[in-house]
Amino acid sequence: MKILVTAKRVEDAESKIRVNPQGTGIVPEGLKYKINPFDEIAVEEGLRLVAKHGGEVVVVSIGGKEVQEQLRHALAMGAHKAVWVNHAGALDQLAIAALLAKVVEAEKPDLAILGKQSIDDDQNQVGQYLAEFLGWGQATFASKVESLESDAEKGKHPGVMLSADGKAVVVVREVDNGLATVECQMPAVVTTDLRLNLPRYASLPGIMKAKSKPIQELTPAGLGVDVTPKVVIQKMVPPPARKAGIKVPDVATLVDKLKNEAKVV
Amino acid sequence: MLSGHGLFGEEHDAFRRTVRAVVQKELRPFAREWEERQEFPRALFTRFGELGFLGLKYPEEYGGSNAGELYEAVLLEELARCGSGGVSAGLGAQFTIATAPLHRYGTDAQKRRWLVPAIRGERIGALGVTEPDAGSDVAGLRTTARRDGDHYVVNGSKLYITNGVRADFVVLAVKSDPGAGHSGLSMLVVERGTPGFGVSRRLEKLGWRASDTAELHLEDCRVPVANLLGREGEGFAQIMGNFQWERLSLALGALGAADELLETSLQYVKDRHAFGKPLAAFQVLRHRLAEMATDLECARQLTYHALRLHVGGEYAIAQTSMAKKVATEMCCRMADQALQLHGGAGYMMELDIQRHWRDARLGPIGGGTSEIMNEIIAKQLGI
C-alpha cells in the first residue's frame, strides 16, 4: 500500500514565542523549528502500517527551502520519498488542503495520514478539508486502545488497522466521552491524535540513508492551485498575563469566595 | 550559539538532534533520581546499544555503524547536557575507553567475545589502569601478571575504575615483566566471576555520583593467556594509543556541559528581575555573560581544532592535551560563574547548577590532570 503523510515545519514548543510589537506575527529571532509533533506521529503510523502490509510512505511538506529539514527528518525516520511544495509566503488552511489534494491526485495513495492539527496555529482543519476536496472518507483524531506504555506500543503495533479484506481502515478515535471505533473505506484521510504512538528517533543509519532519498520539488503554480489567502490574520495579540492567585486561610473562606465572589457554587 | 567551524555536516547535525531528543526524553527527567540513588539503571546500556550509540566508530561486522569519531564527538557533547556527569561518564566509559582497546588490539575471537556484546550494551566494560600508587605514571604500575602455563596469575589492585562495580569485564593494565619499565606492560581482559578478582569497595565521590567507581583487587587471579590483547609488552603503547581520544572526550563533554550552563544562565538573567529590571539589563552582568560565552568559544575552537587533527589521522598530542586542559578548566569557571549569577538559588540542591559545579571539578583531574597535560605540552616544546 501507499501512504501519504505530512511534515509541517513548526516552532519548537521549547522556544519562547513572542508576538511582535506591530501585532502582525511572531518574532522569528532565536526560534528553533521542528516537525509538527502530530505529523511526526502520522509519519510513525505510516511506517508501521507499511512495515506490516508492505508498500511505501511518501512525505509532503509545504514551505520555503527550510522545510527540507523536516522532510529529511521524516526520510531519516524511514519514509521512502519526499514531495516538497515550494512556496515561501503565507497560506491559509484551504490553500494547504488544495495543494495536498493535488499531490494526492498525483501520488494516488491508499491513505493520507495527517497530524490532526499543527502546534503553531492549532487550527485542526486541513485533514477535514482534504477529505472533502478528494471526496474521501475521513477518520479524525486516531488514537489507540492500549496505553503508550503498553507492550503493544513497545512492539510497535499500529493503532490504525486495516479491515480483514484490506479494503477499509479501522480507526479508534478519541471523542469527548471515551473512544469510538470507526471503519472507513479506502482511500481515506486519517488524522492523528497524541495518544496514537510514540514516534521513533531518526537513527544514524536512517540519517545516512535519507541523504540519497529523492525530494521532488513542486510549486503551487505547477499544481494549478491559486493560493491567495481567503483567511487573513488581522491582528495577533499575546494572551493576557495570568494574575497571581490568592491563598485562603480556611475552607470556610474558600466556600464563601466561591459562592459570593466567583459565584460558581 | 554555534559558530561556523566547518567540522560537522548536515548529517552530524541531524544526529545531534536525535541525541538531544534522547537526552531530553530519556535521561534528563531522571538525572536527579539517579544521582540521589548513586546509580543509573543497567538497562540504559542496552537502550544505548539499541540506539546504536555504543558502536559509532566500530565496524559493522561487530555490530557498530562505522560512522566515525565525529559522530561520537557529537554524542559526547550532547550527553553532557543530561544534567548528570555520572550518567555521561558511565555510558561514555563504555565506548570511549573500555571497548576501544578491544577494537584496536583484539583478535577476531576476542572482539566477538567482548566487543560485540558491549556494543549491544549487554555487557558492561571498564578500563583498569590507575592504581593506589600509580596513575599517569603507567611505568610505575604494580599489578603483576606472572605466566603459569596457559594462564597469567594476576596480583594487585586498581583504583578509581569507572563502571568497575558492575563491569562484566575489565581491560586491565598489568606488569607482565615486573623488572622492566614501559616495556613490561601488557593488557589483559579479566571477566567478572574469575576467582581471585573482586570489588574491594565502591568509592564515594564529590561529583559524578550516578556513576559507579570502584577499587578492584586481584589475588592469585588466573586469567587465560587467550585474554591477552596484542602481544606481551605492548601494553604501554596500547594505553597511550587511546589516551588522545579519552582526553578529547573529556574536552567535548566539558563543552556540552558548559554550553548547557551558559544557556541556563542566559535564560535566568532574562527572567529574573532585581531593582525593577531584568538582570540582563545590568551592564556588569551583560559583560560577565559575554566573557563566559567568549571563554566557551575559545575552548570550543581549540577542542575542535584538536578534534579535526585527530580525525584527520594526526597524532595531535600537544593540541589534544591543551584542549583537555583548557576545556575542562573553562567548564569549572563556567559552572562557578553560573552558580554566582543565580545567587542563593544557585547554592540550592534543587537546581542542577550545584551538580554541574561538582561534576565539572573532575575534568581537570580525570584522564590525566592539568599538571600532567602541562608536562606533555612542555615535552612537545622540547624542554
Q: Would you place residue B298 in the very low, low, confident or very high pLDDT band (cuts 50, 70, 90)?
A: very high
Distances (CA, A) of B279 to A217, B284, B369: 47, 9, 36
User: What's the average model confidence in pLDDT over B326-332?
Assistant: 98
Q: Find chain B residues with C-beta within 8 A of A203's C-beta.
A: 18, 51-52
Q: Please report the pLDDT score of residue A152 as a whole number.
A: 87
User: What's the average model confidence in pLDDT over B161-173?
Assistant: 96
- Best mutation target, B2, B16, B17, to test chain A (most A CBs within 10 A): B17
Q: Are A82 and A213 in contact (CB under 8 A)?
A: yes
Residue B321 has pLDDT above 50, yes or no: yes
Interchain CB contact of B52 with A (< 8 Å): yes
Q: Find chain B residues with C-beta within 8 A of A76's C-beta.
A: 14
Q: Find all residues with CB under 8 Å of A122, minimum gap 6, and list them.
A: none
Residue A192 has pLDDT above 70, yes or no: yes
Residue B2 has pLDDT above 70, yes or no: no
- Best mutation target, B8, B13, B15, B53, to test chain A (most A CBs within 10 A): B15
Q: Are B94 and B102 in contact (CB under 8 A)?
A: no
Q: Would you place residue B1 in the very low, low, confident or very high pLDDT band (cuts 50, 70, 90)?
A: very low
Decide if A202 and B18 are in contact by the 8 Å CB cutoff.
yes
Average pLDDT score over chain B: 95
Of the candidates B14, B22, B56, the beta carbon closest to that of A76 is on: B14
Q: Which CATH number fits domain A2-260: 3.30.1130.10, 3.40.1160.10, 2.40.50.140, 3.40.50.620?
A: 3.40.50.620
Residues of A with CB under 8 A from a CB of B: 72-73, 76, 201-205, 207-208, 210-211
Residue B58 has pLDDT above 70, yes or no: yes
**HEC-encoded secondary structure of A72-137:** HHHHHHCCCEEEEEECCCCCCHHHHHHHHHHHHHHHCCCEEEEECCCCCCCCCCHHHHHHHHHCCE
Q: Find chain B residues with C-beta within 8 A of A210's C-beta.
A: 14
Residue B302 has pLDDT above 80, yes or no: yes
Interchain CB contact of B323 with A (< 8 Å): no
Lowest model confidence (mean pLDDT) among A32-41, A241-250, B172-181, B283-292: A241-250
Burial class (CB in 10 A: 0-12, 13-18, 19+), B197: buried
Q: Which residue of A has its CA nearest to B22?
A: A201
Query: How many interchain CB pairs under 8 A, A with B?
Result: 33
- Best mutation target, A203, A204, A215, to test chain B (most B CBs within 10 A): A204
Residue B3 has pLDDT above 60, yes or no: no
Decide if B17 and A202 are in contact by the 8 Å CB cutoff.
yes
- What are the b/e assignments for B322-335, b being 16+ CB within 10 Å? bbbbbbbbbbbbbb
pLDDT over 90 percentage in chain B: 93
Q: pLDDT digit string (tens) for B66-122?
A: 999 999 999 999 999 999 999 999 999 999 999 999 999 999 999 999 999 999 999
User: What's the average model confidence in pLDDT over B269-289?
Assistant: 95
Catalytic residue chosen out of the listed positions B35, B234, B246, B329: B246
pLDDT over 90 percentage in chain A: 75
Q: pLDDT digit string (tens) for A45-92?
A: 999 999 999 999 999 999 999 999 999 999 999 999 999 999 998 899
Interchain CB contact of B67 with A (< 8 Å): yes
Where are the alpha helices (H) located in chain B, listed in sequence order? 10-22, 28-37, 43-50, 69-79, 85-93, 100-105, 108-110, 116-120, 235-271, 283-311, 317-341, 343-346, 353-360, 370-380
Closest CA of chain A from B14, distance in Å: 7
Decide if A204 and B21 are in contact by the 8 Å CB cutoff.
no
Q: Find chain B residues with C-beta within 8 A of A205's C-beta.
A: 52, 65
Interchain CB contact of B73 with A (< 8 Å): no
- Domains located in chain B, CATH noted: 10-123 (1.10.540.10), 126-233 (2.40.110.10), 237-380 (1.20.140.10)
Decide if B14 and A207 are in contact by the 8 Å CB cutoff.
yes
Burial class (CB in 10 A: 0-12, 13-18, 19+), A243: exposed
Residue B246 among the catalytic residues? yes
User: What's the average model confidence in pLDDT over B361-371?
Assistant: 96
Q: Which residue of B has its CA nearest to A77?
A: B18
Residue B4 has pLDDT above 60, yes or no: no
Interchain CB contact of B59 with A (< 8 Å): no
Q: Find all residues with CB under 8 Å of B98, minimum gap 6, and list them.
A: B118, B124, B125, B126, B127, B163, B167, B171
Q: Which residue of A has its CA nearest to B65?
A: A205
Lowest model confidence (mean pLDDT) among A78-92, A149-163, A216-230: A149-163
Q: Find all residues with CB under 8 Å of A3, minimum gap 6, and list them.
A: A46, A49, A50, A55, A56, A57, A58, A109, A110, A111, A112, A113
pTM: 0.89
Decide if A76 and B67 are in contact by the 8 Å CB cutoff.
no
Bridge partners of B131?
B134
Q: Find chain A residues with C-beta within 8 A of B15's C-beta.
A: 202, 204, 207
Write out the three cell numbers for B174. 598489568
Q: Which residue of B has its CA nearest to A34?
A: B17
Structural domain spans, chain A? 2-260
Decide if A207 and B18 are in contact by the 8 Å CB cutoff.
yes
Of the candidates B14, B18, B22, the beta carbon closest to that of A72 is on: B14
Interchain CB contact of B71 with A (< 8 Å): yes
Decide if B11 and A207 are in contact by the 8 Å CB cutoff.
yes
Q: Are A228 and A178 in contact (CB under 8 A)?
A: no
Decide if B67 and A208 are in contact by the 8 Å CB cutoff.
yes
SS3 of residue B162 by DSSP: strand
Q: Please report the pLDDT score of residue B364 as a whole number.
A: 97
